[in-house]
A and B are shown apart, each in its own frame.
Chain A
């Protein structure tokens, strides 16, 4: 059995090549996350968002300085292949809609969409009309609220209100619970914390709990440190010191 071969003409136009790779028919500009391009035909240039020439364009569609370093603009004409760690790749169309997706899983989007940071750390919101490409570890499942989901398995959500945190009551009960709250140690099953969705909309789930890395969460926290005063910083410092001491013991 020979492998199917593709060429510049036969590669699909804005569709999947196989479940793990997506072919963009580029004629103009797309935003692409760094390092997700695997191959391309044609004349395509890659510019970082900070390269002055694109300033006005970027200002109109990319609204997240925190993630600007992770994104580039692909510009030109040709077929562009995108893939991410062998994950399943899917494209979604938004029509005057809004959708929030895990930052590490968003591969690319059309400039018709506007990108903003979500209130939930590590997530990005797309607003407007256009197509975007996202990766998931295992196929995507669409579920409807009300639902509680594991934070790691959450890929994103569309049209429904932002989720709230949900903790199992027994997790916080008693002396052990208090110790856990303070020190962050003790027998945790890893399933005490969920995201709780309510209202009308769609929740997107991936079928595993593999996420990129916690880098995005860390950056979000760092970004928020500027809002904390001196006393708050001191308190943070003592919390971190406690946490570190506990980590060393275990």
Chain B
């Protein structure tokens, strides 16, 4: 199995002994040993139906396949890398937050409805399932927040990075006439997570189309 480890906080090192991993296109910064890099075809390993879904959802994701013997170093715009170990559970994350995936993790598009509107997130997120390690990137070190049935969590959509576990996600709004007049609280739309799992947030806020 490919060994994912952090080299500092902003670079991911993966030790490979013949396995294949998938990584964000263009994220390789250095490697030792023998590596081959292959751009994934149009379908991105998700089949024709998966590719169509992705196209419709606008959840663009371009990954490459890396195979070889040695160590490959990956980084993306000096963002902070967080490793997520999956043991049969599902990670939901923005496609732009995924840096690298173990070869035997499956990806797909998950439609989430209108909740992403105006938050720069689009209508869908990418889901990653299976057993293995995924590396996600965030603007500033990601903070993992635990959700239990007793302690639901609310998150600013602009700071959301991903979530893991059996969580129910819904949108909390308190949009009223003040918001329309531009006198809103600025925190009118929040994601609310209930159930059991983990939510990753970043200490910075992405710019959205709408300031709500």
Contacts and interface: CB of A to CB of B under 8 A. Distances in A.
Interface of A: 1-9, 11, 17-18, 20-21, 34-42, 44-48, 50-51, 69, 72, 81, 83-86, 89
A84 B204 contact: yes
A37 B212 CA distance: 13
5 tightest A-B contacts by CB? A34-B186, A83-B203, A86-B140, A38-B159, A20-B203
A101 B35 CA distance: 52
Contacts of B187: 34-35, 37, 46, 72
Contacts of A72: 185-187
B185 A7 contact: no
Interface residues of B, number: 39
Given A41-B151, A50-B178, A86 B144 contact: no
Nearest to B4: A1
B151 A39 contact: no
A21 B144 contact: no
Contact of B203 (A18, A34, A69): A18
B143 A8 contact: no
Contacts of A2: 83, 85
A55 to B, nearest CB: 14
Contacts of B143: 6, 17-18, 21, 38-39, 81
B140 A20 contact: yes
A38 B187 CA distance: 9
Nearest to A22: B203
Given A84-B204, A85-B205, A51 B178 contact: yes
B19 interface: no
A45 B185 CA distance: 9
A6 B140 contact: no
A69 B144 contact: no
Contacts of A8: 146, 151, 153
Contacts of A3: 82-83, 142, 144
B156 A37 contact: yes
A40 B154 CA distance: 5
Contacts of A9: 151
B74 to A, nearest CB: 16
B105 interface: no
A168 B99 CA distance: 49
Nearest to B182: A69
B203 A5 contact: no
A18 B143 CA distance: 8
B141 interface: yes
A35 B204 contact: no
B122 interface: no
B145 A7 contact: yes
Contacts of B199: 39
Contacts of A18: 141, 143, 203
B183 interface: yes
Contacts of A17: 143
B204 A7 contact: no
A7 B150 CA distance: 11
B155 A38 contact: yes
Contact of B186 (A39, A46, A51, A89): A46
B85 to A, nearest CB: 7
Nearest to B188: A46
Given A36-B205, A38-B205, 6 more contacts: A8-B151, A20-B140, A34-B186, A35-B205, A40-B154, A50-B183
Contact of A40 (B148, B153, B183, B198): B153
Contacts of A11: 145
A34 B183 contact: no
Contacts of A39: 143, 145, 153-156, 159, 199, 201
Given A2-B85, A17-B143, A48-B178, A38 B186 contact: no
Contacts of A81: 143, 145, 201
